[in-house]
Amino acid sequence: MFHVLASYAMRNDALAQYLVSRQWRNVLVLVGPQEADRKLAESWRRASAQLFGLNIDEERNFVMGNDPRQRG
């Protein structure tokens, strides 16, 4: 028996399938400040959202912190 971790593409597809099953077609994408966050958001936008017919309403930068003025 092999245990294999799911790739980012598999996780993105699973999230997209869940959103479609709940009939949530409009999506807000939050992107973190690191390069890996941008790559993950790009793979979500390019593959999973397009494949399952999700509409990306808006894409915002996510700022980690307690100051609500920075998070807007």
Each residue's pLDDT expressed in tens, for the chain with a length of 72 residues? 676 788 888 889 999 999 999 999 999 999 998 999 999 999 898 888 989 999 999 999 888 878 777 766
Question: According to the model, what pLDDT value does residue 71 have?
Answer: 64
Q: Are 12 and 47 in contact (CB under 8 A)?
A: yes
Can you give the pLDDT at residue 25? 93
Q: What is the per-residue pLDDT for 64?
A: 80
Q: What is the pLDDT of residue 72?
A: 62
Is the CB of residue 30 less than 8 Å from the CB of residue 60? yes
**Of 70, 67, 56, 59, which is closest to residue 31 (Cα–Cα)?**
59
pLDDT for position 53:
92
